[in-house]
């Protein structure tokens, strides 16, 4: 289950975010707005800008899965120097490629392992708690905020853009 909640969903949401970039580029071209205006926009003065929201969403995906599977040493390295949509796309692609390397088997013990980080001052969460209480809400927060920054600036994105394709089933007659 943790594979589906993390690898599958994180990949879907990063792909959705990447698709929203297309609308941001089209908006910028149509309105003759430099894309750097969108990339450096934020919802509040004390909140990270669009670029940082995307960087953190990517980091949440790769670090979350790496911690759950005990594979921190295999993560792609990013130096947080992106300044363009193309560079953000490259970062997303790097994380998606990384996530493709995981299988359900990699998560065999993920639910019960102990996960900690320095700022938790010696405390830990089980893998399940880490996924459900930290990693999943965190990636959704940052992707939602990136989406909201674009929407706030006039980019015509909607809930379907955020949610992406759904696995609808036809009713059995």
Record the tokens describing residue 116, joined without a space.
Answer: 């900690």
* Interval 9-67: pLDDT, tens: 999 999 999 999 999 999 999 999 999 999 999 999 999 999 999 999 999 999 999 99
Query: How sure is the predictor about 160, in pLDDT bands with cuts at 50, 70 and 90?
Result: very high
Q: Rounded mean pLDDT of 78-86? A: 97
> What was the pLDDT predicted at 20?
97
Q: Tell me if the pTM is above 0.85.
A: yes
Q: What is the pLDDT of residues 100-142, one digit of tens each?
A: 999 999 999 999 999 998 899 999 999 999 999 999 999 999 9
């Amino acid at each position: 289950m943790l594979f589906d909640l993390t690898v599958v969903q994180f990949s879907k949401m990063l792909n959705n975010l990447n698709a929203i970039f297309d609308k941001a580029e089209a908006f910028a071209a149509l309105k003759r707005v430099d894309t750097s205006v969108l990339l450096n926009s934020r919802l509040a003065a004390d909140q990270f800008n669009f670029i940082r929201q995307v960087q953190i969403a990517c980091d949440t995906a790769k670090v979350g899965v790496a911690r759950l599977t005990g594979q921190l040493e295999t993560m792609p390295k990013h130096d947080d120097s992106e300044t363009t949509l193309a560079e953000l796309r490259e970062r997303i692609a790097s994380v998606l490629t990384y996530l493709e390397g995981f299988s359900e088997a990699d998560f065999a013990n993920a639910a019960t392992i102990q996960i900690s980080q320095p700022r938790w001052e010696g405390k830990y969460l089980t893998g399940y708690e880490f996924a459900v209480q930290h990693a999943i809400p965190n990636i959704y927060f940052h992707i939602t905020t990136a989406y909201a920054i674009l929407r706030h600036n006039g980019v015509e994105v909607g809930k379907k853009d955020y949610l992406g394709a759904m696995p609808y089933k036809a009713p059995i007659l």
